[in-house]
Amino acid sequence: MRSSAQALRRTVKTLAATRRPAGYHGDYQGSAGFFEGWYVKLVSADRSSRLAVIPGIFKGEGDAQDEAFVQVLDGVTGESWYEQFPASQFTADSKVFNAAVAGNRFSEEGIALDLDGPDLRGAVAFTDPMDPWPVTLTEPGIMGRYAWVPVMECYHGLVSFGHGLQGSLTLGGRELNFDGGYGYIEKDWGRAFPSAYVWMQTNHFPHPGVSLSASIATIPWGRRSFRGFIVGLRIPGADGGELHRFATYTGARSDLDIDDAEVRWSLRSKAGERLTLRAERRRGGLLHAPVRTQMHRRVEETLDARVHVHLQDRDGRTVFEGAGEAAGLEVHGDLDALLAMQGR
């Protein structure tokens, strides 16, 4: 009876947490072979300062050591830092974005940092409410119905398409002023990052308020794998604007091409909308990404890419066209296998 009651409580917590992608999922995902991290992007008003700050937790399998961490990427210089802490110094709320690693705090209100490694200190407030990917019963966030699948290798959440910034940080003795800047937050959790993926994100278009988040990856599915993708183009307007979604679970089609200079990606929705993305690749810095035994796979990310976006309606009329600057871009893993997959 006790084990049945515990299983029921665990199931209820799992269902509740699935509809709260911004919160912490480690309380129900298991005590080993698990990671969770929030990607906090900060770009100053003049774009001269660009940072990604990533707090998180890693719980290793077997003899692997648990650890909390805060990663930092300077998008201007390409320098990166991985600050490791005892797992006991990590705390997080399961309902909302509110996490702490040692003396560093991250929430819907803003961030406060005190990191010795990069000598990064100060506070930045978020001046607007979070603007998350919509959550419904059938599609609880950016992953759509796949968020309900209990055996996914990696889950994804989009906490805020964009919000204003106010405050400053010092990095290595130089001041980074983020007054009037713009931010973005997403997150990942699960057992490991995909073996191959492309991710791009920008909310710095000539048209204020436009935001793009796009990823395509090798997704394990039983003994096989498929090429899954999720793209959201948020365009402001009346009644909160419109989110144009292209995803495996919406029935969209995707064609991907990658070379050393660019990522070229075309998509077609089930309703006939067409989206083309062309990302100019730039050198970046190295971040740590999770595998099942450690947090030490190195992944190159830039915050200096440019993404050209063209959206057409089913009749071929241009709905939106523009280039997003200060873009995050990661291209990683067995890309030949990713490109060769028959994806929808």
Rounded mean pLDDT of 220-234?
92
Residue 334 has pLDDT above 50, yes or no: yes
d(CA 47, CA 304): 10
Residue type present at position 297: R
Determine which of 58-67, 195-204, 238-247 has the lowest per-residue pLDDT on average: 58-67
**Position 298 pLDDT exceeds 90:** no
On the question of pLDDT at 147 being above 50, the answer is: yes
Average pLDDT (68-77) is 96
What DSSP letter does each residue of 57-112 carry, written as one string? EEE-STTPPPEEEEEEEETTT--EEEEEE-GGGEEE-SSSSEEEETTEEEETTEEE
% of the chain beyond a pLDDT of 70:
90
Contact status, residue 275 vs residue 244, Cβ threshold 8 Å: yes
Give the Cβ contact number of residue 283 at 10 Å. 8
- Asked if 92 contacts 101 with a C-beta cutoff of 8 angstroms, the reply is no
Residue 344: pLDDT band (50, 70, 90) is very low
The C-alpha atoms of residue 48 and residue 303 are separated, in whole angstroms, by 11
pTM: 0.94
pLDDT at 10: 58
Cα–Cα distance for residue pair 284/312, rounded to 1 Å: 31
Mean per-residue pLDDT, 19-36 = 82
Closest CA to 169 of 15, 328, 315, 44: 44
CA-CA distance, 13 to 331, in Å (whole number)?
34
Indicate the Cα dihedral angle 238, 239, 240, 245, nearest 10°.
-90
Q: How far is CA 193 from CA 112, 288, 294, in A?
A: 27, 11, 11
| Secondary element (H or E) of residue 188 | strand 182-190
Q: Residues 166-218: pLDDT tens digits?
A: 999 999 999 999 999 999 999 999 988 999 999 999 999 999 999 999 999 99
Split at pLDDT 50, 70, 90, the class of 271 is very high
Per the model's pLDDT, the better-predicted residue between 278 and 342 turns out to be 278
Higher pLDDT, 18 or 342: 18
Residue type, 293: T
